[in-house]
Amino acid sequence: MSAPTADRAVATGSDSSDTTQVVHGLAKKARTASRSLNGLTTADKNAALLAAADAIEAAADTILAANQRDLDRGAADGIEASLMDRLRLTPERVTGIANGLRQVAVLPDPIGEIVQGKTLPNGLQLRQVRVPLGVVGIVYEARPNVTVDAFGIAFKSGNAVLLRGSSSAADSNAELVRILREVLSANGITADAVALLPSESRTSVTALIQARGLVDVVIPRGGAGLIEAVVANATVPTIETGVGNCHVYVHALADLDVATRVVLNSKTRRPSVCNTAETVLVDAAVAADALPRITSVLQAQGVVIHGDETGMEPATEADWSEEYLSMDIAVKVVDGIDAAIAHIDTYGTGHTEAIVTADLAAADEFTRRVDAAAVMVNASTAFTDGEQFGFGAEIGISTQKLHARGPMGLPELTSTKWLVWGNGHVRPA
Amino acid sequence: MSAPTADRAVATGSDSSDTTQVVHGLAKKARTASRSLNGLTTADKNAALLAAADAIEAAADTILAANQRDLDRGAADGIEASLMDRLRLTPERVTGIANGLRQVAVLPDPIGEIVQGKTLPNGLQLRQVRVPLGVVGIVYEARPNVTVDAFGIAFKSGNAVLLRGSSSAADSNAELVRILREVLSANGITADAVALLPSESRTSVTALIQARGLVDVVIPRGGAGLIEAVVANATVPTIETGVGNCHVYVHALADLDVATRVVLNSKTRRPSVCNTAETVLVDAAVAADALPRITSVLQAQGVVIHGDETGMEPATEADWSEEYLSMDIAVKVVDGIDAAIAHIDTYGTGHTEAIVTADLAAADEFTRRVDAAAVMVNASTAFTDGEQFGFGAEIGISTQKLHARGPMGLPELTSTKWLVWGNGHVRPA
C-alpha cells in the first residue's frame, strides 16, 4: 500500500530546478513550523513522541510492506548484502524504533534552561536561555531507523527537521514520515515540523545545504565522501560527523594484558562503526613483547594486520590514513610518545585516540596534547558513543571543534539567546 | 622607520598563487604554534600579555610613525574623513591598546575548565574539558586597535591567530604585530602564535577561508558585504558577526517616556555601530500619541525619519531592510504584537530586538517568539556589547545560532574535548 503523495511531503521533481524548488518550499514550511514548535511545552512534545511511538507500532504492517518494496528494488538492483541488512526492517526492529521515541520522551528537555544569568551593576537583568536551533537538516544513508531517531531528537529539542535519506530506503522512509506527520496533526502540531526530501539525486542535498536563511544547520551522517561533499559545498552551517581514523598507542609502560584487551575490543567489537580503531602504535621500548601478543590475538579473531614487520601485509603510506571499517588494522612501531602524538597529529581525524599506559605522566601528556573529540586512557575507543556517555540519544559524533565536539545529544541541537530586562535603561554615551 | 620584512611575518606575493602559498605557509606555522600554546599555564600567558602591553607603550614612537605612513597614504588616496579617523592612532589610543591587553590578562582563563564530568556505571571517569579552538583567523577593517585586541583575546584563550587587516592600516598593523612577535619570542613562546596576512588583495582572504585542516575558524568583522563574501566562499567554519538591522517595538501598553528614551538612545548613542536601532515599530493603538512624541525628539537630534506618515521621508521597501548605520531611522505603524514580530521575522538580522511595554504578557511573548541573539525589554539596543555584558573583552557579536550567539568573549573562542579514564575497560558486544 503506497501512501498518498501529498501526505508524504515529497514531490518528484522532473528536473533539478524542480527539485530545488521542492526542497526550498519544504524548508520554508519547516521554518514557519519551527516558530510554533518553540511555543510547545515539554508535556506537549512528550505526548506527541509517545503517540508517534504507538502509531509506529500499530502501523508495523504498512511499514514492513513499504520496506519490502525497498528490499525488492534493492535485490533487483543487486545491492550488496551488508547494505540489504542495514535496510531491512523486522517486527523487532520496528518495535525498537518505537522504543527509541519513548526513550527520547523521558529525556530532560533542554529548551528553556537558563545557561547563565546575572544582574548588571546598572540593574539590567540578563539571562542566557537555551532555545531551539530552528530548522535542522539531516543527510544520511541506508538505515530507516535514522529517520525516526533524527525526528525524535530534533523534535524534543524544539526543531523542525528536514530528512534526506537514501533512495534505497525511499519507501520505508516515506511511510515512517507519513505516520509522524499524521501523529503531529492529530496532536494539534503542524505536520511541517518533519518532512522527507526527494532522494532521487544529489540535487536535493545541494538545495538543502545552500538554503541559507531557511535552514539553520545541516548534519551529514555517512561516509567520508558524503561528509566532504556536504561541507565543501554548503553555505548553511554544517556539523561534520563520524569520520574516525582512531589510534590506540601502547606506551612503553603499558600493562600488556590491558593493551591486548583494549586493542582487541577497539578493533573487533563492531569494525564497521566510526569509533573502531584503525591503527595500533606500539612503543619501540615494548615492541618485542607487545607486537607478537597483540597481533596473535587479533589474527586469531580474523583481523588482517597491515605493517612493516614480518608476518604482516606490507603497509603503504595509504594504510596510515585508511579508515578500514573492516577486520583490518595497521600496526606501526613508534619511538616514544612524541612520535606517537606526531603520527596521530598527521593521520588522525580528531575522533577518538587512546593510550594504554600505567604511567601517570604519560597519560597526562597524551590527554593534554592529543587534539581529538575523545581521548581515552586504558579504555576502548568503542566508548565514544552518546548512549555510553549517558546522553540517552545521539544524533551523531561531531569531529569538528565548533559548536559541538564528540557525541551529540539533545543540548547539541540547541542555541541560546540573551534576554535583557530593564525598566527604561539607556546606555551612557 | 620600516620594520624588516622577515619580522613582519608578511610577504608580498607577486601574484595570487604566491599569496595563497604565503597564507598557507603562515597557517601551517600557526597550527604548529597552536599545539605548544595549549601547554602554557595561565601565568605564562598573563606574563606575555603584560609584557606586550609594556612593549607597545614603549614603542609608541615607532607605532605612531608607522601609523603616519598609513595616514599619509590614505590622504594621498583621498579616503574619507570617517575612515581616516578610525585609522588614526594617538599617544592616548596607543595607551588604550596597551591597557586592553592588561584587561585581558586579568580575565579568568577559560582553558582547562571542567565543563561537566561524571563516573559512568562501569567505573569509567568522564570529563569534558575546555580546550583552545586551535588557529583562529580574523578578517577586519580599518581600526589598528583590533589587531592587538584580537591577538589578546585569541592568545589568552590558547589560540594562534592569523590577522587579515585592512590594507589602509598595513603599516600600523605590521608594526604592532612585529612588537607582539618580538615579545612572544622574548617570553619563550613561539612568535608564530600571531601573524599578519598580506592585505594587498582579496586573495589572502580567500586563501584563509579555504585553508581547511589548517585553520579552525574564521571570524569576519566588518560590513555586510565582507561577511557575506566570507561565509559564502568559506570551507573553514565561520562565525558571522555584527550585521544588525535592529528594531524597537513600541507596544500598545508602552510607557511613552520610556519608549522615547529607549528609541532615542538606541538610535543616536553611536549610530555607526551594529547594535544601533534602524526601525521603530509603533503599535497602531498608541500611534496617535507616540508617533509625534518620538519623531519630534529624534528630529530634534538631527535624525531623518523614513516612513509612510506625513512629515517623513517617503519609505520604500528597501528602508525596512536597510542597515543605515547613520542618523536615519525607519518608522512603521504595526497592528499589534503579531504584526510587529512578523515584521522583525521578515527584515531582522537576528542581532538585537527590543520591546517597550508595561505589560508582562507582551514582554513574555516578545522575548519568547523573537528569534535574535539578544531580546531587550524596556532597554536600549545599545546594551548588546561584550563589555556591557561583563565579559571584559569581545571579539565580535555573533548573529548565527551555531557555536556562539551574541557578544563573544574568551569562552566563545574555545572548544572542548572528552577525557575518558579507565583501567582496562572494554565495551561489551
Give the mean pLDDT of A112-138: 96
For residue A91, the model assigns a pLDDT of 97
- CB–CB contact B421 A363 (8 Å): yes
- CB–CB contact B403 A402 (8 Å): yes
User: Which range is least confidently modeled, A42-46, A111-115, A199-203, B418-422?
Assistant: A199-203
Tell me, yes or no, whether A100 and A182 share the same domain.
yes
The answer to whether residue B395 sits within a structural domain is no
| Structural domain span for residue A285 | 246-383
Q: Is the pLDDT of residue A3 over 50?
A: no
- Point out the residue among B133, B406, B416 whose CB comes nearest to the CB of A418: B406
Residue B15 banded pLDDT, cuts 50, 70, 90:
low
For residue A141, the model assigns a pLDDT of 86
Better-predicted residue by pLDDT, A229 or B411 = B411
- Point out the residue among A374, A378, A389 whose CB comes nearest to the CB of B417: A374
Is the separation of the CB atoms in A144 and A173 below 8 Å?
yes
The answer to whether residue B67 sits within a structural domain is yes
Mean pLDDT, chain A, as a whole number?
93
Nearest residue of chain B to residue A418 (CA atoms): B374
Give the mean pLDDT of A246-252: 98
At B328-362, the pLDDT tens digits run: 999 999 999 999 999 999 999 999 999 999 999 99
For residue A335, the model assigns a pLDDT of 98
Is the separation of the CB atoms in B349 and B369 below 8 Å?
no
Give contacts of A369 with chain B, Cβ < 8 Å. Answer: 35, 38-39
For residue B203, the model assigns a pLDDT of 92
- CATH number of domain containing A179: 3.40.605.10
At A329-388, the pLDDT tens digits run: 999 999 999 999 999 999 999 999 999 999 999 999 999 999 999 999 999 999 999 999
The answer to whether residue A397 sits within a structural domain is no
Nearest residue of chain B to residue A401 (CA atoms): B415
Tell me, yes or no, whether A34 and A182 share the same domain.
yes
- CB–CB contact B262 A424 (8 Å): yes
Among B218, B215, B248, smallest CA distance to B231 is for: B218
Find where cell 526543531 sits.
Answer: A159
In a mutational test of the A interface, the residue from B40, B209, B359, B427 whose CB has the highest number of chain A CBs within 10 Å is B427
Tell me, yes or no, whether A307 and A182 share the same domain.
no
Tell me, yes or no, whether A197 and A309 share the same domain.
no
User: Which range is least confidently modeled, A283-287, A391-395, A413-417, B48-52?
Assistant: A391-395
Residues near A338 by beta carbon (within 8 Å), at least 6 away in sequence: none
The answer to whether residue A176 sits within a structural domain is yes
Tell me, yes or no, whether B232 and B276 share the same domain.
no
- Point out the residue among A345, A402, A406 whose CB comes nearest to the CB of B237: A402
Cell output for A244: 574516525
For residue B5, the model assigns a pLDDT of 34
Tell me, yes or no, whether A213 and A349 share the same domain.
no
The answer to whether residue A400 sits within a structural domain is no
The answer to whether residue B140 sits within a structural domain is yes
Q: At what angle do helices A60-77 and A170-186 cross, to 10 degrees?
A: 160
Q: How far is CA A225 from the centre of its chain?
A: 15
Better-predicted residue by pLDDT, B146 or B3 = B146
Tell me, yes or no, whether A215 and A275 share the same domain.
no
User: Which range is least confidently modeled, A8-17, A102-111, B365-374?
Assistant: A8-17
For residue A241, the model assigns a pLDDT of 87
User: Which range is least confidently modeled, A5-19, A178-192, B292-306?
Assistant: A5-19
Q: How would you label B353-381 residue by residue, b for 16+ Cβ within 10 Å and e otherwise?
A: bbbbbeeeebbebbbbbbbbbbbbbbbbb
At B68-108, the pLDDT tens digits run: 999 999 999 999 888 898 899 999 999 999 999 999 999 99
Give the mean pLDDT of A113-120: 96
Q: Is the pLDDT of residue B58 over 90?
A: yes
| Pairwise CA distance, residues B256 & B252, whole Å | 10
User: What interface predicted TM-score (ipTM) does this complex get?
Assistant: 0.91
For residue A11, the model assigns a pLDDT of 42
Q: Is the pLDDT of residue A8 over 50?
A: no
Mean pLDDT, chain B, as a whole number?
93
Extended beta strands in A76-147, E state: 114-119, 125-132, 135-139
The answer to whether residue B392 sits within a structural domain is no
Of these ranges, B13-22, B237-246, B346-355, the one predicted with the greatest mean pLDDT is B346-355
Tell me, yes or no, whether B349 and B290 share the same domain.
yes
For residue A242, the model assigns a pLDDT of 77
- CATH number of domain containing B275: 3.40.309.10
For residue B4, the model assigns a pLDDT of 35
Residue B14 banded pLDDT, cuts 50, 70, 90:
low
Q: Is the pLDDT of residue B264 over 60?
A: yes
User: Which range is least confidently modeled, A151-155, A287-291, B7-11?
Assistant: B7-11
The 10 Å Cβ neighbour count of residue B352 is 34
For residue A15, the model assigns a pLDDT of 67
Residue A139 banded pLDDT, cuts 50, 70, 90:
very high
Give the mean pLDDT of A56-84: 95
Residue A251 banded pLDDT, cuts 50, 70, 90:
very high
Give the mean pLDDT of A156-167: 97
The 10 Å Cβ neighbour count of residue A376 is 32
Cell output for A64: 514492513
Q: Is the pLDDT of residue B8 over 70?
A: no
Could you tell me if A269 lies within 8 Å of chain B, comparing CB atoms? yes
Extended beta strands in B302-403, E state: 304-307, 313-314, 328-334, 352-356, 374-379, 396-398
The answer to whether residue B393 sits within a structural domain is no
Better-predicted residue by pLDDT, B324 or B2 = B324
Q: Is the pLDDT of residue B198 over 50?
A: yes
In a mutational test of the A interface, the residue from B215, B420, B423 whose CB has the highest number of chain A CBs within 10 Å is B420
Give the mean pLDDT of B186-213: 95
Tell me, yes or no, whether A309 and A208 share the same domain.
no
Tell me, yes or no, whether A110 and A22 share the same domain.
yes
For residue A5, the model assigns a pLDDT of 34
Split into its structural domains, chain A has a count of 2
Residue A13 banded pLDDT, cuts 50, 70, 90:
very low
- Point out the residue among B390, B403, B423 whose CB comes nearest to the CB of A378: B423
For residue A6, the model assigns a pLDDT of 34
For residue A1, the model assigns a pLDDT of 33
For residue B225, the model assigns a pLDDT of 83
Nearest residue of chain B to residue A348 (CA atoms): B213
Give the B window 338-357 contacts with A, CB below 8 Å: 345
Residue B6 banded pLDDT, cuts 50, 70, 90:
very low
Give the mean pLDDT of B386-406: 92
- CB–CB contact A258 B389 (8 Å): no
| Minimal CA separation from A352 to chain B, in Å | 9
Q: How far is CA B86 from CA A155, A194, B90, in A?
A: 47, 49, 11
Q: How far is CA B230 from the centre of its chain?
A: 14
Q: At what angle do helices A287-300 and A256-268 cross, to 10 degrees?
A: 40
Tell me, yes or no, whether B74 and B187 share the same domain.
yes
For residue B403, the one-letter residue type is H
Q: How far is CA A332 from CA A339, A345, B259, in A?
A: 11, 15, 70
Tell me, yes or no, whether A285 and A370 share the same domain.
yes
If you ran DSSP here, which 8-state letter would residue B384 be given?
Answer: -
Name residue B311's beta-bridge partners: none
For residue B11, the model assigns a pLDDT of 42
